[in-house]
C-alpha cells in the first residue's frame, strides 16, 4: 500500500503495539535543555530509574542564559540554579552537555542540525515545541512535555498514536525578498493557528525543493504555530550535502549505506493525505503579523484588517482585542508603524543565512534613532562564522548590539525583554500577548524585513523598495 | 453505574486560542520543582501591573472562587510545550477543562498529570457558555458514563479515547507500562544497531 513519508518513518520505529490505537515508538535522538528537564530528572531519581540511552541524549543551555556574558551567574539567581541543576543531572546520568563554556553551545534547534545529530528518517524529541525544526531533514520531530521527557529518559521510547497527514504544496518559485519565513507565515495565515491540530504536515513542491536546509528549518520550525504535531520535508541532495562531514553525521564507512536508506524516504506518488493545501509561491509577499497570534498576519502592503471583516464572530472579537493590545487601528498601514525594538534571532531565524540577509540590508546604513536593535546568533558556530565573514562588524557599525547565543528575546526568559507598550519587529515565532515581556507588542517578520525596519524605524515593504528604487541590493 | 471523576463550580473563560504563555508566563519557568505554580496561573490577566488582582478577570470574580472545572473555547493550550501550564491549572484547583479543542502537546501533558480534558462541538460549548451566563454552574463529570451532568436531569455526553479513559480511571503509571515492553525495546535496539549502525 502506498505510504506517506510520515507513515514510513512511524512504522519503522514501532517497538511494539501497546493496544489497538497506541504504539510504543523508539526515539533516535532526545535533546534536552535547562527549563523542561529538571523535574524529569527528579522523577527518575525518585523512582530509582536511570537514563536508558545517555548516548542518544544531548543537552544544551539556551532558554534562560544571559546573551551578554558567558557565565551561569549572569542570568539571575533562579536561572543559575536551573542551569546548575542541568549540569548536575547530566553529570550524574552521563548525558553529554554543551554548557555555556562549550564553543558549540547554542539554541537546541540550531545546534542539533549543525552537529549532524539530526538526520533523515529519525524520530527526534525535545521538551520544546519548536522541535518541529528538525523535520526539515525528513525526520519525525516533535515537542513533548516534561512527563514525556522523563518517559524517554527512562525507556528511550514514547507511546504514540498515528497522526493524520497534511500535504502543503508550494508551487513555483519565490519572488526576491520573499523568504521561507514569509512562506510559513502565509501558510499559517491561510490554515489558522489550529488548522494543523492532529496532523503531521509534509511540505513539498518546487518552492520547497529550491530552499536551502536553513530555509527548510525555518519553515518546519513554525509548523507548530498552526498546531501541527510536526512538519517534515523529504530529504534530497541538498540534505545529504548539508550533512556530509558534520561531526555526528554518518562517517565514511557508513555514508553510502545511510544515503541509500535516506533516498527511500519520500511519500509514494499515490499516497493519500488526509488534507492537501496548494499555494503558489508567486502569490506570497513579505509577511508581517498585526495581532497576537501567528494567524493574524498580512502582507506588508495590506491594510490592517477591521474586526468586521471576519465572518466568524469569535475571530472578529479576537481581532478587536488584538488591535487594542497592539495599539493599532483597522485600516492603518504597517509602513506607518514605528518600531522601538528589533530582534534578529531565535530558533526560527538565527542561522548564518539569516544573518547574511540582514547584513545585506543594513550594510553602510545606521539603525534609526531611538530604535534598540539586537542580533543574537543561534550558536557558537554561527557567531564565529558571522564574525569571520565580517557580518558582525557590519552589524556593530550599523548600531546593532551583537550578542552571545541563546533564545533571548524570543521568550524573554533572560533579561532581554521588550518593555510594555513597545513595538518590536522580531524574527521569532510567537506574537502572543506578553511573549517578549509584559505588555510587549510583537510583529513577526523575516530577517530582511526586521533589518529594514531597524534602519527605517518603521516597517518597510522591501520588495516594493527593491522594485522601484533598487535600494536593498 | 455512574462514577464521578470530578464535581464542582465552573469558571467560564470566554476566549479562543489561549496559549501557554498566557496560562503561565516565562518568569515562572526557572523553577526546578513541579510545585508552586498555582499563583502563576494566568498571571498577566489575573494581576495588574502593580500585582494587585485584576477585578475584570473572570477568575477573580467572587462567584468563581473555588472553581474546579474550566470552560473555554477552541485551541486551548496552543504554543509552548511547557508542562508548567497544566501544573499551574491543576495546582490552582482545576482538574477538568472543557473546550471546543485543545493543542496536541498541551493535551498530552494534561493527561499525563491525570487531568481530564473534554472536547465538545462548538454548539455544545456555546450551550454550556449560555448556561454559565444565566447562573453560576456546578457540574459533575461522569467519566465512566462519558457525560457532564448539569443537574435537573440535564447532561451533555462526550467522546474520549478509550486508552486515555482507562488510564485516567486506573491511574496507571505510564512509564511503568512502557517498561513492561523491555524485551521488545532491547530487541528493537539490536535490530537497529545492525540495520543502521550510523544511528549510534
Which residues 87-126 of A are in CB contact (within 8 Å) with B? 119, 122
Mean pLDDT across chain A, nearest whole number? 96
Using an 8 Å Cβ cutoff, are A31 and A126 in contact? yes
> Looking at chain A, which residue has its C-alpha nearest residue B22?
A433
Q: pLDDT tens-digit profile of A69-116?
A: 999 999 899 999 999 999 999 999 999 999 999 999 999 999 999 999
To the nearest whole Å, the CA of A463 is away from the closest chain B CA by: 30
The secondary structure of A402-466 as a DSSP string is E--SSSGGGTTSSS--PPTT-EEEE-SS---TTTTSTT-EEEE--HHHHHHHHHHSB---HHHHH
Question: Cβ B175–A151 below 8 Å, yes or no?
Answer: yes
ipTM: 0.96
Distance CA A338, CA A318 (A): 23
**Residue A464 confidence class, pLDDT cut points 50, 70, 90:** confident
Q: Which of B10, B36, B161, B25 is nearest to B98 (CA)?
A: B10
Q: pLDDT tens-digit profile of B18-54?
A: 999 999 999 999 999 999 999 999 999 999 999 999 9
Question: Cβ B32–A150 below 8 Å, yes or no?
Answer: no
Enumerate the residues of chain A whose CB falls inside 8 A of the CB of residue B101: 194, 197
Q: Does A26 touch chain B (CB under 8 A)?
A: yes
To the nearest whole Å, the CA of A467 is away from the closest chain B CA by: 36
Q: Does A63 touch chain B (CB under 8 A)?
A: yes
**pLDDT at position B171, please?**
83
**pLDDT at position A201, please?**
98
Question: Cβ B83–A318 below 8 Å, yes or no?
Answer: no
To the nearest whole Å, the CA of A393 is away from the closest chain B CA by: 32
Q: In whole angstroms, how large is the CA radius of gyration of chain A?
A: 22
**pLDDT at position A348, please?**
98
Enumerate the residues of chain A whose CB falls inside 8 A of the CB of residue B47: none
Interface-testing mutation among A22, A82, A145, A415, with chain B (most B C-beta atoms within 10 A): A145
**pLDDT at position A31, please?**
98
Q: In whole angstroms, how large is the CA radius of gyration of chain B?
A: 19
Q: pLDDT tens-digit profile of A163-186?
A: 999 999 999 999 999 999 999 999
Which residues 166-225 of A are in CB contact (within 8 Å) with B? 193-194, 197-198
Would you give the DSSP letter of residue B18? -
Longest dimension (CA), chain A: 67
Chain Cα centroid distance, residue A83: 22
Stronger pLDDT, B174 or A37, i.e. the higher one: A37
**pLDDT at position B1, please?**
44
Amino acid at each position: 500500500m502506498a505510504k506517506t513519508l510520515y507513515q514510513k518513518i512511524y512504522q519503522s520505529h514501532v517497538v511494539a503495539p501497546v493496544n489497538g490505537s497506541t504504539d510504543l515508538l523508539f526515539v533516535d535522538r532526545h535533546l534536552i535543555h535547562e527549563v523542561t528537564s529538571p523535574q524529569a530528572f527528579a522523577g527518575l531519581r525518585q523512582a530509582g530509574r536511570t537514563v536508558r540511552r545517555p548516548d542518544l541524549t544531548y543537552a544544551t543551555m539556551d532558554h534562560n542564559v544571559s546573551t551578554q556574558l558567558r557565565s551561569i551567574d549572569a542570568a539571575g539567581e533562579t536561572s543559575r540554579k536551573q542551569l546548575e541543576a542541568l549540569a548536575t543531572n547530566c553529570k550524574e546520568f552521563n548525558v553529554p552537555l554543551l554548557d555555556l563554556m562549550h564553543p558549540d553551545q547554542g539554541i537546541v534547534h540550531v545546534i542539533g542540525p549543525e552537529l549532524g545529530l539530526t538526520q533523515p528518517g529519525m524520530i527526534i524529541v525535545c521538551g520544546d515545541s519548536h522541535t518541529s525544526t528538525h523535520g526539515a531533514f525528513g525526520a519525525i520531530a516533535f515537542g513533548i512535555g516534561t512527563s514525556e521527557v522523563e518517559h524517554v529518559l527512562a525507556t528511550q521510547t514514547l507511546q504514540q498514536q498515528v497522526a493524520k497527514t497534511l500535504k502543503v504544496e508550494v508551487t513555483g518559485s519565490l519572488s526576491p525578498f520573499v523568504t521561507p519565513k514569509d512562506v510559513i507565515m502565509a501558510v499559517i495565515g491561510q490554515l489558522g493557528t489550529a488548522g494543523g491540530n492532529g496532523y503531521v504536515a509534509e511540505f513539498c513542491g518546487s518552492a520547497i525543493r529550491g530552499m536551502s536546509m536553513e530555509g527548510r528549518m525555518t519553515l518546519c520550525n513554525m509548523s507548530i504555530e498552526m498546531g501541527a504535531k510536526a512538519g517534515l520535508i523529504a530529504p534530497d541532495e541538498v540534505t545529504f550535502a548539508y550533512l556530509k562531514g558534520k561531526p555526528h553525521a554518518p562517517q565514511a564507512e557508513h555514508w553510502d549505506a545511510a544515503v541509500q536508506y535516506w533516498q527511500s524516504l519520500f511519500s509514494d506518488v499515490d499516497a493519500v493525505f488526509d488534507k492537501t493545501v496548494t499555494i503558489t509561491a508567486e502569490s506570497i509577499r513579505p509577511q508581517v503579523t498585526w495581532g497576537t497570534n501567528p494567524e493574524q498576519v498580512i502582507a506588508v502592503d495590506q491594510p490592517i484588517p477591521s474586526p468586521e471583516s471576519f465572518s466568524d464572530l469569535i475571530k472578529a472579537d479576537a481581532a478587536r482585542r488584538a488591535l487594542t493590545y497592539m495599539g493599532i487601528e483597522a485600516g492603518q498601514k504597517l509602513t506607518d508603524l514605528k518600531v522601538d525594538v528589533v530582534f534578529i534571532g531565535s530558533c526560527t531565524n538565527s542561522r548564518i543565512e539569516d544573518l547574511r540577509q540582514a547584513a545585506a540590508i543594513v550594510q553602510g546604513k545606521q539603525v534609526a534613532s531611538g530604535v534598540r536593535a539586537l542580533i543574537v546568533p543561534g550558536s557558537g558556530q554561527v557567531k564565529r562564522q558571522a564574525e569571520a565573514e565580517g557580518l558582525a562588524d557590519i552589524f556593530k557599525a550599523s548600531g546593532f548590539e551583537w550578542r552571545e547565543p541563546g533564545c533571548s528575546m524570543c521568550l524573554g526568559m533572560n533579561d532581554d525583554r521588550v518593555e510594555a507598550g513597545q513595538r518590536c519587529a522580531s524574527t521569532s515565532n510567537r506574537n502572543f500577548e506578553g511573549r517578549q515581556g509584559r505588555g510587549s507588542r510583537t510583529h513577526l517578520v523575516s530577517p530582511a524585513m526586521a533589518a529594514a525596519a531597524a534602519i527605517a524605524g518603521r516597517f518597510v515593504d522591501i520588495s516594493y523598495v527593491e522594485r522601484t528604487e533598487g535600494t536593498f541590493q | 453505574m455512574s462514577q464521578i471523576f470530578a464535581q464542582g463550580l465552573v469558571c467560564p473563560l470566554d476566549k479562543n486560542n489561549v496559549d501557554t504563555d498566557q496560562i503561565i508566563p516565562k518568569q515562572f519557568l526557572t523553577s526546578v520543582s513541579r510545585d508552586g505554580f498555582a499563583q502563576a496561573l494566568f498571571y498577566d490577566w489575573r494581576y495588574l501591573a502593580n500585582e494587585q488582582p485584576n477585578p475584570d478577570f473572570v477568575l477573580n470574580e467572587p462567584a468563581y472562587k473555588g472553581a474546579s472545572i474550566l470552560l473555554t473555547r477552541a485551541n486551548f493550550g496552543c504554543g509552548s510545550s511547557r508542562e508548567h501550564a497544566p501544573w499551574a491549572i491543576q495546582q490552582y484547583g482545576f482538574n477538568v477543562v472543557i473546550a471546543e479543542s485543545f493543542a496536541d502537546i498541551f493535551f498530552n501533558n494534561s493527561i499525563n498529570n491525570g487531568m481530564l480534558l473534554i472536547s465538545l462541538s462548538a454548539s455544545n460549548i456555546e450551550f454550556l457558555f449560555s448556561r454559565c451566563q444565566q447562573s453560576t454552574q456546578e457540574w459533575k463529570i461522569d467519566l465512566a458514563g462519558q457525560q457532564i451532568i448539569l443537574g435537573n436531569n440535564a447532561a451533555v455526553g462526550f467522546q474520549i479515547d478509550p486508552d486515555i479513559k482507562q488510564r485516567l480511571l486506573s491511574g496507571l503509571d505510564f512509564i511503568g507500562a512502557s517498561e513492561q515492553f523491555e524485551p521488545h525495546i532491547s530487541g528493537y535496539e539490536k535490530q537497529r544497531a545492525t540495520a543502521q549502525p550510523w544511528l549510534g
